[in-house]
Structure 1
Amino acid sequence: MNTRRIAIIGTGAYGTALANVLTDNGHKVLMYGIEEKQVNDINENHLNQAFFQDLLLNENIQATTELAVALEKAEIVILSVPTFAVDNVLDGILKYGKREMHIINTAKGLDEENLDVLSKKIIKKLANHQVMKSFGAIYGPSVAIEVVMRKPTCVMSCNENLQIAQEIAQIFTNEYFIVKPTTDLVGCEIAASLKNTVAIASGILAGFGGADNAKASLITIGNSEIYKIAQRFGAKIETFMNFAALGDLILTASSNKSRNYGLGLQIAERDDAKIVLKSHKNTVEGVYACKLAYKICKKLEISSPFFEIMHKILYNKGRPSALINDLFKNAEVV
C-alpha cells in the first residue's frame, strides 16, 4: 500500500486512536491540536496522558499547534473535533488547504440550523474551493482506548462513491481495525448521532433496575425509530444492520464506557434530568441529539414516541421513573 500523508484535526481520544491505527499501517500522520500540553506529550513522550494515561502510542505520530503546518502536505484530512468546532475547522481548511484532499468526518452530530445532516453543510461549505476531493466519514463501535490497545474493532467507511469508500477502508484496515465500505453516508450519519439518545434511555432503564430483556427491547425500539427518521433522508434499511448503525448502537447503549449511558445512570439516581444536566459543563451528545430528533420529527411529521418521551425527560421536566416504561408501551417497530 502507498504511504499517505494524513492530517488529523483534533488531539482528542478518538483522533489519537485513529492516528495510532494509521501510523501502525505505515502512513505519515500529523495531528493538529490547540492544547500545547497534549501536542508536546505526543511528540516528546509518545503519550496522550489526558486520555490514555501511560499507554504508549506509535512513536511515528507527530503533532503540531499550527493548522497550516498540518495541512501543508496532507492528502487526507480527518475531522476529529466536536460538532460545535466543525465550522472553525472548515474555515481553517479553506484558508490553509493547498490541494484537493479527501475529507473524512468522525463528529457525531446533526446540523441544528437546517435540521439536516452535518455532511450536507460541510460539503456545501467546502465545494468549489479546490480543497475537497471527496467527503466521507468513519463510524462504528470503536471505544478509543480499546483501539489504542489494539483490540479487535470493526467500523464503516462511508462515502457516496463506493470506490473511494473502498480506498479509504483499505488505508485504515489492519489486523485489529477492520473497515468495511458503504455508500449510505446519510444513514450512517443519522444513526451515529441519534443512538446517543438511546444510550441515555438505556442508562436510565438500568438505573431503575431494568434487566437484559428490557435493554434488548429498548435497543430494538431505538434502532427502529432511528431508521424511521433516517429513511426520510434516503437511508437504506440494510444500513441498520451494519457496524455504524446497529453495532455502534449496541455498544453505546450497553457499555459502562459510554458517556451517554453513564449520564442515564446518573439521571435515574436523582430521578431528575434537569438537576443532573446542570452539573455537566458541556452538553452530552445524546441530550443535544434528542432535541434535534424531536424537532426533525415535528417538521417532517414523523411519529416517534421514543424521542417524544425522551424529550419530555430531558427538556420538559418529565419524571424519568414515571415515563421510562412508556417507551415500551408506546413502542413503534418496523
Structure 2
Amino acid sequence: MHLSQALTVIGAGSYGTALAIAVASKGYPVLLHARDENKAYIMEQTRHNAHYLPKIAFPNSLHVTADLKEALAFSRDILLVVPSSAFVATLEAIKPYWQPKQRLAWATKGLDSSGQLLSKVVREKMTSPDYPILPMAALSGPTFAKELANGMPTAIACAGNDDYFVDDLCNLMHTNTFRIYKSHDLTALQLGGAVKNVIAIGAGMSDGLGFGANARTALISRGLAEMIRLGQALGASERGFMGLSGLGDLMLTCTDNQSRNRRLGFMLGQGKNINEALEEIGQVVEGYHMVKVIYDLAKRCQVEMPICFELYEVLVNHKPGVKAAYDLLNRQITSE
C-alpha cells in the first residue's frame, strides 16, 4: 500500500462518514474517528452509521475508532469533517499526536468565530518553528452526504497550498461517481462554503413566506454578488466563485430541502420561532452560527451585503422575516 492510499477521517457525522465510505469503496484503508466510544463501537460492529446514514453498509476497508492517537497514527493524510464551531478544538486535540510529514485537509465549511479563513487558523494552530510549512487543502462543493454515500454522481472542488498534496487528495478521493476538480483559489473556495449557508436561510425563508420562484432566483443571484464582493475584499478572484464551491454549492443549498439551512429559513418563513425550528432539524445548522461572523467580517471590510445584513437582523435581533424582505425590496435603486 502506498502512503497516499490511506486516509484518516476525523468526524463521524453524515458528511465525514460519506467521504470515508467513498474512499473505502475503492478498497483503500480508511479509519473513521468518532468522539463517542460507545457509538464508535456500535458502528464498527454493525458496519454502518445508524444515526446519520442508516442502511448504508461500510466497505470492508473502513473501520471506526474513538482513539484519537490511533487515528492520527493510521495514515499520513488527515481529513477533518467537523462543524466550523468545533474546528479549533479539533486542531488542538490532534496536535499532540501530529507527526512530521503528515498532511491536513478539511471538508468543514465556514469560518472561525473571529471571521478568519480556516486555512489561516490551521497555519496558526498547527505550524511551528520546527514545522514551518504544513501541506494543507480544503474540499468544498455541492454535496449532500446521503447521495454521496449511496454512490450517486457528485462533484466537488479542492484547493490547497501544495500541488502534490492536492493531486494526491484528488486521486485518492476520486471514484466512478465522485469527481474532484482542482481549484487555484483557496480563499474563494473557503468563503463560498461559508456565505452560501447564510444565503440559503434567506432562500428558504422566501419560499416559506410564499414569495415564489422569481424572488428565490433574485435572492440567489444577489447573494452570489454579495459573496463575490466580500471575497474580492479578502483577495479572492471573481472567477473563484463561479465553480462548484461557489455558485454550485449556493444553488444546491438554496434549492433543495435536504439543506438544513434552507429548511431553517423555510420554517421561519412559515412562522416558527428559531428555537422550535432548530430543535426540529436536530443537527448543526451552519448558516445560523455563521450569520454573525459574516456580518462582523463584512462590516470590518466595509463591504455591503444587504441580504446577509437583513438575515442577521432576523436571526439575531428577531426582526420579522416579511419586514426584512420588503426592506430589501425598498432599498435605493443601484446598478447590478
Question: Is TM more than 0.5 here?
Answer: yes
Q: For residues 269-326 of structure 1, what are the alpha-carbon distances to aligned partners after superposition, in whole Å with 9 as ceiling and x for unaligned? A: 1165476568777762112211111111211211221111111111122111122233
Alpha-carbon contact 1:199-1:261 (below 8 Å) kept: yes
Q: Which residue of 2 aligns with 1:17?
A: 18
Q: Which residue of 2 aligns with 1:206?
A: 207
Q: Which residue of 2 aligns with 1:239?
A: 240
2:97 maps to a residue whose letter is Y
Alpha-carbon contact 1:100-1:132 (below 8 Å) kept: no
Tell me how far 1:205 sits from its aligned partner: 0.5
In 1, distance between residues paired with 2:77 and 2:271? 45
In 2, distance between residues paired with 1:333 and 1:162? 39
Look up the SS of the partner of 2:192 in the other structure. Answer: helix
2:193 maps to a residue whose letter is A
In 1, distance between residues paired with 2:55 and 2:63? 17
Look up the SS of the partner of 1:325 in the other structure. Answer: helix
1:142 maps to a residue whose letter is T
Written as runs of structure 1 = structure 2, the 5 A alignment for 1:177-188 is 177-188=178-189
Q: Which residue of 1 aligns with 2:147?
A: 146
Alpha-carbon contact 1:38-1:50 (below 8 Å) kept: no
Residues paired across the two proteins, number = 333
Q: For residues 5-27 of structure 1, what are the alpha-carbon distances to aligned partners after superposition, in whole Å with 9 as ceiling and x for unaligned? A: 21111111111101111112232
2:177 maps to a residue whose letter is Y
Calculate the TM-score normalised by the size of structure 1.
0.92
Calculate the TM-score normalised by the size of structure 2.
0.92
In 2, distance between residues paired with 1:131 and 1:91? 17
Unmatched 5+ stretches in structure 2? none
Q: For residues 64-116 of structure 1, what are the alpha-carbon distances to aligned partners after superposition, in whole Å with 9 as ceiling and x for unaligned? A: 11110011131100011112222232123221123321201111121223x32
- Residues 302/36 of structure 1: CA separation in 2 closer, same or farther (3 Å cut): same
- Residues 76/13 of structure 1: CA separation in 2 closer, same or farther (3 Å cut): same
Name the stretch that deviates more: 274-283 or 210-219. 274-283
Q: Which residue of 2 aligns with 1:167?
A: 168
Tell me how far 1:137 sits from its aligned partner: 0.8
In 1, distance between residues paired with 2:93 and 2:133? 13
Q: Which residue of 2 aligns with 1:127?
A: 127
Unmatched 5+ stretches in structure 1? none
Alpha-carbon contact 1:123-1:135 (below 8 Å) kept: no
Q: Which residue of 1 aligns with 2:36?
A: 35
In 2, distance between residues paired with 1:290 and 1:333? 25
Q: Which residue of 1 aligns with 2:107?
A: 106
- Residues 73/59 of structure 1: CA separation in 2 closer, same or farther (3 Å cut): closer
- Residues 25/236 of structure 1: CA separation in 2 closer, same or farther (3 Å cut): farther
In 2, distance between residues paired with 1:247 and 1:105? 19
